[in-house]
Amino acid sequence: QVQLVESGGGLVEAGGSLRLSCAASGRSVSDHVMGWFRQAPGMEREFVAAISWDGYKTHYADSVKGRFTISRDNARNTVALQMNSLKPEDTAVYYCAARRLVIFTTPSDYNYWGQGTQVTVSS
């Protein structure tokens, strides 16, 4: 089993930056794809970014390309999401997720989830 715990959320003004972190425990996730998803009130959970097990491949939602960067540190069993040029529409609960081997963008394809961290961007 894998346990995921997110941190780093908060309130920021539009144009600002935040860095989210996700720490995995229970077993190594070095062979897992790690992803970030978000869910705004009344909306479905949506894909934000994912990174391959070795860190060489990344994939981003069009809405965050050029502003967000996903990275991982397998030695520390962590994954991060650097969010720059934040917009009010980025406001959501952000979730870290894990699945084995292949990058997918659908939430149901991920096996492990964190509890989420709130990100609020004020205009």
Cα separation, 58 vs 55, in Å, equals 7
Cα separation, 18 vs 83, in Å, equals 5
19-66 pLDDT, tens digit each: 999 999 998 888 999 999 999 999 999 999 999 999 999 999 999 999
Contact 120, 107 (CB under 8 A): no
77-87 pLDDT, tens digit each: 999 999 999 99
Cα separation, 101 vs 120, in Å, equals 32
Cα separation, 3 vs 7, in Å, equals 13
Q: What are the start-end ranges of the H helices in 69-115?
A: none
Contact 97, 34 (CB under 8 A): yes
